[in-house]
Amino acid sequence: MHLLILAILVPFLAAALIPFIHRRLGPVDIGWLVLVIPFVLFVIFAMQIPVISAGDTVTATLNWIPSLGINFTIYLDGLSLILALLITGMGTLVILYSIYYLSPADSLPHFYAYLLLFMGAMLGVVLSDNLLVLYVFWELTSISSFLLIAFWFHRKNSRYGAQKSLLITVFGGFGMLAGFLMLHTMTGTFSVREIVSTIGQYSDHALFYPAMFLVLLGAFTKSAQFPFHIWLPDAMEAPTPVSAYLHSATMVKAGIYLVARFTPIFGGTSAWFWTVTLVGLITLFWGSFCAVRQTDLKALLAYSTVSQLGLIMSLFGMGSAAIHFGDGNEGALYGLASFAALFHLVNHSTFKGALFMVVGIVDHQVGTRDIRRLGGLMAFLPITFTFAVIGSFSMAGLPLFNGFLSKEMFFTASLNAVSLPIFSADTWGWIIPVVAWTASALTFVYCMIIVFKTFFGKHKPEKLDKRPAEPSIGMLIPPAILSLLIVGLFFFPNLLGDHLLRPALNGVLPGITGAAPHITAWHGFNTELWMTIGIVVAGSLLFIFLRHWKKIYAILPEDWTFNVFYNKLLESVEDNSSLLTNRYMTGYLPHYFAYIFSFFILVAGGTLFLTGAFSFDFSTDAAIPSYELILTIVMAVAAVGILFAKSRLTSVLLNGVLGYSIAIFFVLFRAPDLALTQLVIETVTTALFLLCFYFLPEWKPENSPRNVKIRNAMIAVAGGATVTLIALSVRSGKLFESISGYYEDSYELAGGKNIVNAILGDFRGFDTMLESLVLFIAGLGVYTLIRIKGGKETRKNED
């Protein structure tokens, strides 16, 4: 098996083994063992950098369902390598951070198992070449993130946030699956690489644009784009290591990755350009606007994540225009936006991961994240303060930090979009730099809030739960490494650009050269620099006078938010579903039979009538002997007699007449083994019926209204007539030769002289085994219920 396939499977295997290993190692030591897994995987992927930077790719296939074109095919190029390094690298730092952050009282084995499950699922998403395999891993990320967000399940808000994230992301996932199936219908393949190579001939297909928007639905929900962003802030109820991992570097980047991977398929069209760009810009602005009003540091970071994801999304939208021009100067000019998106994707993981860890340290060491209770912590947490400054200033796009470089590229791309000669950008393109600058000014404001409201100002010890102090060195190492990367990437950005970003860009814009520039911090006093200076000036003024203009948030009606709409929609669905369920779940067995048989009559009988499938041919039927006719009349009389029986004993006896009559039919039709089986079963059943009567209350025949009896009689007659008509039609309208001739060779094929036994034990052996398993499970259930009832009776007597 290929090493990279093992790299995906190892986290799943480790997650399965943790419940057994932790019993010997203990809850604390298990974290150090788990730490080895992402670190080794990071080394394995880092070893692929020379291969990928040389322009090569790595592929491997593990056959799954080759007859349907579904195989576990991995494809490692520059784009997937960046994400794989982020997943494993950030995973290593987060697990190290978790060892010191989480309490031994927490269920650590569960936590690490969920984390590894998520890590494996994310690796599967970014490395899968097959669409259906990608979808399987995609939904696994939703399930594992649900478990992580709800880790502290005793908290109501944790359960609520986990439910919201699962509902929204799985909803988008279903849409994405439909888009994948449409792509397969168009191209005849599930391979992403093959679709990219052949999609040009399908751009006029009727399913092209529906598939595009359904794929984007999956990407937008997973990456918390407007208006699906509402799940991300509530997901912050998860432990801080989970937030640092899922909501800064990994899960929320899955939708970004999907857009990047599918840009060669749908890019170059006006619909893709404007949809991705505008949704990204709206998300960028709305996230930054909402972040400023937050009083909880994690909530602030949540909305800042939404905003930064919108920035990256809009860059991929703008960069997709390069596909329209192909290789050349214009393609390289507009392709710069995609390069900036990849660069900011990496930068965002570094500074946002560091900031989440900083907030976790503040919460862990002080006991609160409420900005209104914080202040003056610089003197108590100087190292943490340093990390906060580095992460915040990088997110604000200030010099000496990597965020400045990618933010300048963002401004360049937004200015280039104004002059784009296609997609009506020359008319509406001015919106892009205006929104970009406005949102960036708000970004500067909430970055200053993080630094100055938390670490400067008056210290308020009376409002804190703990005396502030720096945490253990273990909690400081992960944000220290990320802070070094933030500064290091500013001074040596081309180490990343040449070896990872450039080959990754080829996965987003294949065949377009020159779009990956040599990254420099100084380009003179150009428009982009003046935009940054304006952001610093305007942002500083907005921060200074924050308490004056923050009143604008009070103008927005509280009932007009997307969260309120989501909650009301959920309540409406629950209420209406309960109302509907209570209408048919009456607890009355005759009602259920009426529903079942009515549905059967409508569907089966209606299909027969609408398709004209009735076909009666009695010419080849054998003559019915008189003794068979008499036996049939006896069965009919017994069946009708059950309906008018006045006692249970009479009903059981008449039911026995039916069963033993069927056994006689088996004898007449020369099936003595079936007759013997029927006799045994009927005898046992009759005895069980009689035994049950001992425990049942006295039977009082039901006195139903006349209209109910008439309705039930009509349903019964119609149901019987439908079955009879189907049987006659099937018997008379044979489309194929009977398969019974195949089983006549049972001795040669299966070594069985009895055809029935050969069918049950060999030809349908799996069916028989599963039926036996079902009976065994049912037996266990009955036995359990008896034991539970017996235990209750015993305790009741003891009491």
- The model's pLDDT over 500-554, given as tens digits with 9 standing for 90+, comes to 999 999 999 998 878 888 999 988 889 999 999 999 999 999 999 998 898 888 8
Distance of CA 275 to CAs 216, 320, 332, Å? Answer: 9, 11, 22
Burial class of residue 394 in the structure, from the number of CB atoms within 10 Å of its CB (0-12 exposed, 13-18 middle, 19+ buried): buried
Residue 26 lies in a domain: no
Query: Does residue 384 form part of some domain?
Result: yes
pLDDT < 70 stretches in the chain: 1, 26-28, 699-702, 733-735, 789-799
Examine residue 648 and state whether it is found in any structural domain, yes or no.
no
CA dihedral 404→406→407→411, nearest 10 degrees, is 130
DSSP structure string for 577-605: HHHHHHHH--S-HHHHHHHHHHHHIIIII
**Segment 245-277, tens digit of pLDDT:** 988 778 899 999 999 999 999 998 999 999 999
Query: Is 108 within 8 Å of 79 (Cβ atoms)?
Result: no
> How far is Cα of residue 166 from the mean position of the Cα atoms in its chain?
7
Contact between 320 and 268 under an 8 Å Cβ cutoff? The reply is yes
Closest C-alpha to 228, from 269, 181, 171: 171
Closest among 221, 242, 64 to 147, alpha carbons compared: 242
The pLDDT score that the predictor gives to residue 14 is: 94
pLDDT, position 226 = 92
Rounded to an integer, what distance in angstroms lies between the CA atom of residue 192 and that of residue 258? 11
Rounded distance, CA 29 to CA 697, Å? 59
Enter the tokens of residue 430.
């001015």
Give the tokens for residue 204.
């006029």
- Token output for 461: 């010890």
Determine how many CB atoms are found less than 10 A away from the CB of residue 498.
Answer: 14
Q: How far is 328 from 252, CA to CA, in rounded Å?
A: 33
For residues 273 and 392, the answer to whether their CB atoms sit within 8 Å is no
- In sequence order, the 6+-apart residues with CB closer than 8 A to the CB of 502 are 53, 78, 516
| Exposed e or buried b per residue across 445-468, where buried means at least 16 C-beta atoms within 10 angstroms of its C-beta | bbbbbbbebbbeeebeeeebeeeb
Q: Is residue 627 part of a domain?
A: no
Write down the pLDDT at residue 727. Answer: 85
Q: Which helix (H) or strand (E) holds 59?
A: strand 58-65
What does DSSP assign to residue 737?
Answer: -
For residues 34 and 783, what is the distance between their CA atoms, to the nearest angstrom?
A: 41
| 3-state DSSP percent of the chain in helix, strand and coil, to 5 | 75, 5, 20
Nearest one of 353, 362, 367, 393 to 380, comparing CA atoms: 362
Question: What angle separates helix 108-127 from helix 251-266, to the nearest 10 degrees?
Answer: 10
The first and second tokens of residue 491, run together, are 């001074």
CA pair distance 361, 372, nearest whole angstrom: 17
Question: Could you write out the three-class secondary structure of 425-486?
Answer: HHHHCCHHHHHHHHHHHHHHHHHHHHHHHHHCCCCCHHHCCCCCCCCCHHHHHHHHHHHHHH
Cβ atoms within 10 Å of 770's Cβ, excluding its own: 11
Q: What range defines the domain where residue 366 resides?
A: 275-544
Residues β-bridged to residue 296 = 370
- Specify if 219 maps to a domain: no
Q: Is residue 467 part of a domain?
A: yes
pLDDT score for 537: 96
What is the DSSP annotation of 659-705? Answer: HHHHHHHHHHTT-HHHHHHHHHHHHHHHHHHHHHHTTSPPP------
Q: Closest Cα partner for 550 from 375, 791, 293, 226?
A: 293
pLDDT score for 343? 96
123's enclosing H/E stretch is helix 108-127
Is residue 370 in a domain? yes
What pLDDT shows up at residue 789?
62
CA distance 535 to 444: 7
Number of domains in the chain: 1
pTM of the model: 0.82
Residues 6+ apart with CB under 8 A from 271: 209, 212, 213
Helix axes 131-149, 251-266, angle to 10 degrees: 160
For the stretch 346-360, what's the b/e string if a residue is b when 16 or more beta carbons lie within 10 angstroms of its beta carbon? bbbbbbbbbbbbbbb
356 falls within a domain? yes
Pairing of strands 70-76, 58-65: antiparallel
